[in-house]
Amino acid sequence: MLIQINTDSNIEADATLTQKVNAIIADRITYFGKQITRMDVHLSDENSDKKVGTDAKRCLLVADLAGMQPIEVSDHASTLEQAAEGAAQKMKRALDSALGRLASR
């Protein structure tokens, strides 16, 4: 499974951030690795121009599944790591639901 990390112009994707986000995503969805062909991670700072407010960091995950429509989830938090963790949890539940229904057929 390929994990591709993209950031907006307000976030610098250094090696530390990339490693943390990769570890969070891989840890949560390892079980589904064979069904997922690609995982796109989009990190953004929605309040970067104001520099105020909470839950300004956003993580959008898009999972491309073999033979199925992509699954998309997102989460907002005060840090990028928390947003990635929340989005990964949501993706795990979405994959459980989608692939579980498929297996029951």
Residue 31 has a pLDDT of 83
Q: What angle do CA 71, 81, 79 make, to 5 degrees?
A: 110
Per-residue pLDDT tens digits of the chain, which is 105 residues long: 788 999 998 888 889 999 999 999 989 888 887 889 999 999 999 876 666 666 789 999 999 998 889 999 999 999 999 999 999 999 999 999 988 765 554
The span from the CA of 23 to the CA of 4, in Å, is 13
Q: What is the pLDDT of residues 68-82, one digit of tens each?
A: 899 999 999 999 999
Q: Does domain 2-103 have CATH number 3.30.160.100?
A: yes
